[in-house]
Amino acid sequence: MSERIVVGMSGGVDSSVAALLLKEQGYDVVGVFMKNWEEQDGNGTCTAETDWRDVRDVCDRIGIPYYSVNFAKEYWDRVFSYFLKEYRAGRTPNPDVLCNREIKFKAFLDFAMTLGAAKMATGHFVRTDGEGRLLKGTDPNKDQSYFLYMVHAEQLKKAVFPVGSMTKAEVRAIAEKNGLTVSAKKDSTGVCFIGERNFKKFLSEYLPAQPGDMVTPEGETVGRHDGLMYYTLGQRRGLGIGGRGDGRSWFVIGKDLEKNRLLVAQGEDHPLLYSTESIAEDVTWVGEAPMREGETIRCTARYRYRQPDQAVEATLKDGKLHLHALTPQRAVTPGQSAVLYDGDICLGGGIVTVVGGLSNRPPTPLWPVELSC
């Protein structure tokens, strides 16, 4: 009897091809669609129903059984409540990271085991060596290890990633060759559970907005913001500041939660957008910790998805990661993850809480400089 592998299927091309490849390799494959959100999109369409239809079509095409499982309550309790808490605190959270830890590699993994699975599989562009190490995907443009750094070695030993050594073009070509209806389906973007709907409108339904002033580092008021939760460091679009200054674009460079002010400045290379030091909390390691308390290692880090690896010195102090970047980093954002690497090996990381380190940027959680007023 062949080994059973349960595949988490989203209705997209990556997980569909993952299921196809495992089926071709002779495994007993079962497809499972996870419904993590109950709401309709802005047009009144339940996007989960569309994705569930695509899952059924693919599974029928390749000849495997399929199930749908509802994790909406788990998602709300373990991911969405954290998402809202972080926005209330003025940070910019990344729910995909927590979703992988709490839903896909916990709730879903547990469910897969109840179906008699030896392993679970997803369509992530990552690799593993079977010993619990998390490795970057072969395609640097699609590598998703940044989003999986909270997954532990023991969970990874029970997981396989069939498309991790492929490029996106190769995945689509396999889907088209095998007549999968999702071969040309557009990749999902936006926040993982709400898709591409109007984010500001969505967030306003859960958190009350408090408009306030946009001010420069010199204290000049140059506009009004709609609520600090709608903005993130380095943001250019949607500021609505026109006819002021030297004609260069305006960017968000900080937040003042106490006075409900958004700090903005002109120029994409404004010095206040850059920092060399940061602190990350909620530190997790994929496997054995690469350093002891008080030790410093040299490695690389990513402060956002698809960022090239950045050389850093990482020190573990009081359970927190203190990161010194060897070159100034642009728009390191509280609430996002700092993920550490040793070559292709993802070591782990933490959630950025403090940013600073340049002479004109004393380390504070969200507000990088003192205004002159």
Q: Could you read off the pLDDT of 133-166 as tens digits, one per residue?
A: 999 999 999 999 999 999 999 999 999 999 999 9
pLDDT at position 49, please? 84
Residue 85 dihedral angles phi and psi, to the nearest 5°: -60, -40
pLDDT at position 130, please? 82
pLDDT at position 34, please? 92
CATH class for the region spanning 4-177: alpha beta
For residue 305, what are its two tokens? 């998805």
pLDDT at position 30, please? 98
Residue 144 dihedral angles phi and psi, to the nearest 5°: -115, 20
- Residue 349's Cβ-side half-sphere holds a number of Cα atoms within 13 Å equal to 31
**CA–CA dist 78, 93 (Å, integer):** 13
Annotation: CATH topology of 274-356: Elongation Factor Tu (Ef-tu); domain 3 (2.40.30)
pLDDT at position 44, please? 44
pLDDT at position 278, please? 96
- Residue spans in the chain of domains classed CATH 2.30.30.280: 209-266
- Residue spans in the chain of domains classed CATH 2.40.30.10: 274-356
Active site members? 99, 192
Angle, alpha carbons 286-147-177 (nearest 5°)? 115
**CA–CA dist 82, 95 (Å, integer):** 8
Along the chain (373 residues), what's the average pLDDT of each consecutive run of 10 residues? 92 96 98 82 60 95 96 92 91 92 95 96 95 95 97 97 97 97 81 64 88 94 94 92 85 93 94 94 96 96 96 97 96 96 98 78 47 37
Annotation: CATH topology of 209-266: SH3 type barrels. (2.30.30)
- Residue spans in the chain of domains classed CATH 3.40.50.620: 4-177
pLDDT at position 196, please? 58
pLDDT at position 61, please? 97
Torsion of CA 259, 262, 265, 271, to 10 degrees: 80
pLDDT at position 11, please? 93
**CA–CA dist 330, 304 (Å, integer):** 11
pLDDT at position 45, please? 46
pLDDT at position 194, please? 57
Residue 193 dihedral angles phi and psi, to the nearest 5°: -100, -5
